[in-house]
Amino acid sequence: MSNPVDFFPGFASHWIDAPAGKIFARVHGEGRPLVLLHGFGETHVAWRKIAPALANRFTVVAMDLRGYGWSSVPTSEKGENYTKREMAADVVAIMESLGHVRFALVGHDRGARVGQRLALDQPGRLDKIALINNAPIDDDFGDGDLQRVGRARFLAAEAPRPEELIGLDPTGFLDDALKSSTKAKSLDAFGADGLAAYRQAFNDPARIHAFCEDFRAGASIDRQHLDADRAEGKTLAMPTLIVAGEASFPSTGPSLIAAWREWRHDVSEARVDSGLFPMEEAPTDTLAALEAFL
């Protein structure tokens, strides 16, 4: 898979062995290591507007989650190879391969779920964690984005129905998923080149199945893991920032920060004037919030 645009000039490209197979990452910068994890419908390209600035202060690693972008696509039937525990193991393998045993993590959407899992399973790995537009345990949290909730349920449905329906028009499905979750209900924030990269990475039957497996894991195995953690009283051991896009998690709705305080009593919150994709819809404010925290 090739792309004519280099979204990360100066960043090295790596395909690194991990439990999933080869994982793709872009790496650049100096300072403390920082890994960036994207969400559904996107790839590491999601960080293109803020990663170069972060690389002025950190060694930035922007990677594609398994099944996404240019990373390997493990076979899976009922979500077992797309649990957030398995995906977190990829993150550890990538960072260790690059020489980083301990690091900071910023995760968006599905990537935030991977980050939360890593923080609970291996707290010694993370010195700080920032989670963007994600509720701690429940995809149905709040009513800020009913379309997103419905889409998550659809993707988690039993195979092969979601795969077959998406396969009828993958680009149309992706464009609708992206557009409907922005504050402006527009694709403008992604830009023509970014959108082309996302469409290219999405238009593949094996990856469409992988995305569905990600959500199937989220609705079953991942939830069981989080329920067990909650029953054991596990909490997030490291400083934690929750970044909320006002259009996705409105301040007038159920309190996102209150939900996260069950997992860490002194969790911090930054609110951004955006929908689900603050890194692209409001990159300046998002960067400022992350830099202040990190």
Q: Tens digits of per-residue pLDDT, 43-56?
A: 999 999 999 999 99
* C-alpha–C-alpha distance, residues 47 and 18, integer Å: 22
Q: What is the mean pLDDT of residues 225-229?
A: 96
Model confidence at 142, pLDDT cuts 50, 70, 90, reads low
Kindly state whether residue 2 falls inside one of the protein's structural domains: no
Mean per-residue pLDDT of the chain: 95
In a domain, residue 3? The reply is no
What is d(CA 15, CA 269) in angstroms, rounded to the nearest whole number? Answer: 34
Find the domain containing 42 and state its range: 12-293
pLDDT at 29 over 70: yes
> What's the average model confidence in pLDDT over 128-142?
83
Task: Compute the average pLDDT of residues 97-105.
Answer: 98
In this structure, what CATH number is given to the domain that contains residue 105? 3.40.50.1820
In the predicted structure, residue 138 carries a pLDDT above the cut 90:
no
Give the CA radius of gyration of the chain. 17
- Domain count along the chain: 1
Do the Cβ atoms of 11 and 28 come closer than 8 Å? yes
> Is residue 232 assigned to a domain?
yes
| Residue 145 pLDDT grade (very low, low, confident, very high; cuts 50, 70, 90) | low
Note whether residue 244 is domain-resident: yes
38 lies in some domain: yes
pLDDT band, residue 108 (cuts 50/70/90):
very high
Confidence of residue 161 (pLDDT cuts 50, 70, 90): very high
pLDDT exceeds 70 at position 286: yes
Tell whether 37 is covered by a domain.
yes
